[in-house]
Amino acid sequence: MTAPETIVGMSGGVDSSVAALLLHESGENISGLFMHNWADDGTGDCRSGEDRRDAVAVCGRIGIPIHFRDFSREYLEGVFATFLDEYASGRTPNPDVLCNREIKFKHFLDAARELGAGRIATGHYARIVRHEGRWQLLRALDASKDQSYFLHQLGQEQLAATRFPLGELHKDQVRRIAADAGLPTAAKRDSTGICFIGERDFRSFLSRYLPARAGEIRDPQGRVLGQHPGVFYFTLGQREGLQLGGVRGRPAAPWFVVGKDVARNILYVDQGSNSSWLQSRALQSEPAHWIAGEPPATRFSCLAQTRYRQPPESCEVEVRDDGGVDVRFARPQRAVTPGQSLVLYLGDTCLGGAVIQATDAPMESAMRGQAA
């Protein structure tokens, strides 16, 4: 059998299905590969079996071979362990970024090369171009589906060996292509949330690994308002799950998480989704990853996102000697969260990014002062 030119990561969804179809119809010699990334935890909530069947059916319909690889051990060690460690420390990690870096563009790429392929392809919505001798990661044309935020940890080697066939398409076009070709995934709904949690309640899932430890809920002035089951179950800006009813002397308005004191197991809340306690203008990051291999300058202006579903915000960036960045935004930002990803852009070009380490939000600054 002739070795394939490209191995397509088949997830069992419509996006990877159409990516494979388009490459096959272009005359490229391709095979599919289904990655098993999460070991069954006995709850019956994992869709891996269904997704595998759909991936097999799609490859059969297209007429290409399919391979299988079990990366569950690598996922446990490279993604899930970090996920738990971050939550236990009070931070909010982004496992999709870790999964792309550690699994899809590392172990999957290695597996494709072992099968004789020179490239991989996925159904991500993003674009790759070659410019002035370097590979660049660009936003997808469909801004509502763009996934460059989750791909910002890729480097020159990975981009050189990767294809994103859907980067120029919109989602409705992808579904129409799938339907016209009779692919069994044409109407399959997109997966949502964290892959290993699926449709399960997040707190119930996390409590299996981080047992509940009740503590006080306080307002920013220190008044005790109630009890929480564990600060690591909550993230900044969160409204759901606080179970705070009417508080005497306060208006009947919703409460939002504005701070987490992990050391003292205290959850701080305030009323109003845009509480001043949630606002920050500056952040510091851990060492940054640059897609080009280096930053554009030691100081520069660009656009930034501190979460996936967020419009890009203007900012000034200064690269520190330790590799991290100091960022100052043109206007206050809501609920910038340590542990999440800061991703930087010049226009549609993704420069890279880093894990957020700290911000100048009032509650975070106050807790640092208490710890000093």
User: Residue 196: what pLDDT?
Assistant: 60
Average pLDDT over residues 42-71: 87
User: Residue 195: what pLDDT?
Assistant: 60
Whole-structure pTM value: 0.93
**Are residues 149 and 87 both part of a single domain?**
yes
Per annotation, catalytic residue among 46, 59, 195, 302: 195
CATH number at residue 39: 3.40.50.620
Residue 197 banded pLDDT, cuts 50, 70, 90: low
- Weakest-pLDDT range from 150-154, 209-213, 226-230, 336-340: 209-213
**Are residues 47 and 142 both part of a single domain?**
yes
Average pLDDT over residues 106-111: 96
Residue 46 has pLDDT above 60, yes or no: no
**Are residues 92 and 238 both part of a single domain?**
no
**Are residues 107 and 239 both part of a single domain?**
no
Residue 37 banded pLDDT, cuts 50, 70, 90: confident
End-of-domain residue from the set 130, 158, 180:
180
Per annotation, catalytic residue among 99, 302, 315, 350: 99
Average pLDDT over residues 322-351: 97
Q: Within a domain: residue 58?
A: yes
pLDDT, tens digit (0-9, with 9 covering 90-100), for 70-100: 999 999 999 999 999 999 999 999 999 999 9
**Are residues 340 and 282 both part of a single domain?**
yes
Q: Within a domain: residue 205?
A: no
Q: Within a domain: residue 195?
A: no
Percent of the chain residues past pLDDT 70, beyond the cut: 93
Average pLDDT over residues 6-17: 97
Rounded to the nearest integer, the mean pLDDT of the chain is 92
Instruction: Specify whether 46 is catalytic.
Output: no
Q: Within a domain: residue 57?
A: yes
**Are residues 335 and 367 both part of a single domain?**
yes
Instruction: Specify whether 350 is catalytic.
Output: no
User: Comparing 90 with 1, which gets the higher pLDDT?
Assistant: 90
User: Residue 200: what pLDDT?
Assistant: 61
Residue 30 has pLDDT above 90, yes or no: yes
Q: Within a domain: residue 207?
A: no
User: Comparing 192 with 158, which gets the higher pLDDT?
Assistant: 158
Residue 208 banded pLDDT, cuts 50, 70, 90: confident
**Are residues 163 and 268 both part of a single domain?**
no
Q: Within a domain: residue 356?
A: yes
Residue 4 banded pLDDT, cuts 50, 70, 90: confident
User: Residue 207: what pLDDT?
Assistant: 84
End-of-domain residue from the set 180, 195, 220:
180
Q: Within a domain: residue 89?
A: yes
**Are residues 37 and 130 both part of a single domain?**
yes
**Are residues 135 and 260 both part of a single domain?**
no
**Are residues 304 and 243 both part of a single domain?**
no
User: Residue 40: what pLDDT?
Assistant: 58
User: Residue 193: what pLDDT?
Assistant: 59
Average pLDDT over residues 40-53: 69
Q: Within a domain: residue 247?
A: yes
Residue 243 has pLDDT above 70, yes or no: yes
Q: How many structural domains are present in the chain? A: 3
User: Residue 124: what pLDDT?
Assistant: 97
**Are residues 26 and 51 both part of a single domain?**
yes
User: Residue 9: what pLDDT?
Assistant: 98
**Are residues 149 and 217 both part of a single domain?**
no
Secondary structure in 3-state letters for the chain: CCCCCEEEECCCCHHHHHHHHHHHHCCCCEEEEEEECCCCCCCCCCCHHHHHHHHHHHHHHHCCCEEEEECHHHHHHHHHHHHHHHHHCCCCCCHHHHHHHHHHHHHHHHHHHHCCCCEEECCCCEEEEEECCEEEEEECCCCCCCCHHHHCCCCHHHHHCEECCCCCCCHHHHHHHHHHCCCCCCCCCCCCCCCCCCCCCHHHHHHCCCCCCCEEEECCCCCEEEEECCHHHCCCCCCCCCCCCCCCCCCCCCEEEEEEECCCCEEEEEECCCCHHHEEEEEEECCCEECCCCCCCCEEEEEEECCCCCCCEEEEEEECCCCCEEEEEEEEEECCCCCCEEEEEECCEEEEEEEEEEECCHHHHHHHHHHC
The whole domain housing 261 covers 212-273
| 341, 195, 198, 188 alpha-carbon torsion, rounded to 10° | 110
End-of-domain residue from the set 180, 202, 233:
180
- Weakest-pLDDT range from 10-19, 204-213, 220-229: 204-213
User: Residue 45: what pLDDT?
Assistant: 53
CATH number at residue 229: 2.30.30.280
Sole residue written with tokens 């993704």: 350
